[in-house]
Amino acid sequence: MEKALLYKEWKKTRLFTLGIAAVGIILLGYIMLKMGRSFRMVGMEHLWDVVVNRKQFLFRSLKYFPIAAALCLGMAQYFPEVIQKRIKLSLHLPLPERKVILLMYGYGLGILLGIYLLQLVGLLVFSTINFPYEFTSSTLKTIAPWYMAGIITYLFVAMVCLEPVWKRRAFNGLLGIAIVYLFFLSDVPSAYQPVLYILLVTLIAVFPFGFLSVQRFKEGTQD
């Protein structure tokens, strides 16, 4: 049963999933090519000066990819469930309702984390080959909030889509934007290092929000 439900999610989102993965890989390739060109044109010393003295981050092109990917995947997965209230079909399946929603969440988060991981591994290999350990470590701490923001974006898209009342939907959407904005307050490398654990706690706290929307849908709450 669980496999069948995941199959349905795959059928619904496969084009978006493959598209997002392709864009992620192309973006990574673009960054690598751009870096390679910089190595040749201005030299490593200059790049080092940019990173250490001017506190510039070399992989800034990645900044909005995680939230854009989460937005696309979340919409592709949950928007069709809202049209004609198709989520009723899933909730009518002979499985506990919480499990159905968890599986849908699990599918989306699994796909998203898979794409993020693919991109991160590529980035880390490239960084480890070309830069010292300290630089790679700082890169990870700099991009971590962006990827966490991506996961939070996905959770909020699910929550907003499944919410039955428009006013509450708008409120949840604004709340989501405000929370995601907190993850993009600074571009300075490792700026979020001291508060990374707070961001992680925020992410975990947002996780059950989607269940509230489903509960309200089940109770038939209306505008």
Contact footprint for other proteins (CB under 8 A): 1, 3-4, 7-8, 11-12, 80, 84-86, 88-89, 91-96, 217-220, 222
Number of Cβ within a 10 Å radius of residue 97: 15
Contact status, residue 9 vs residue 104, Cβ threshold 8 Å: yes
Task: State which residue, 37 or 88, has the beta carbon closest to other proteins.
Answer: 88
Task: State which residue, 45 or 219, has the beta carbon closest to other proteins.
Answer: 219
Q: How far apart are the first and last CA of the chain?
A: 34
Q: Tell me the closest approach of the beta carbon of residue 9 to other proteins, in angstroms.
A: 11
What is the Cα–Cα distance from 111 to 90, expressed in whole angstroms? 20
Q: Tell me the closest approach of the beta carbon of residue 4 to other proteins, in angstroms.
A: 4
What is the Cα–Cα distance from 56 to 216, expressed in whole angstroms? 46
Q: Tell me the closest approach of the beta carbon of residue 8 to other proteins, in angstroms.
A: 6
Task: State which residue, 81 or 179, has the beta carbon closest to other proteins.
Answer: 81
Task: State which residue, 19 or 173, has the beta carbon closest to other proteins.
Answer: 19
Contact status, residue 215 vs residue 163, Cβ threshold 8 Å: no
Distances (CA, A) of 59 to 27, 80, 99, 148: 10, 34, 38, 16
Q: Tell me the closest approach of the beta carbon of residue 161 to other proteins, in angstroms.
A: 16
Task: State which residue, 94 or 194, has the beta carbon closest to other proteins.
Answer: 94
Q: Tell me the closest approach of the beta carbon of residue 40 to other proteins, in angstroms.
A: 47
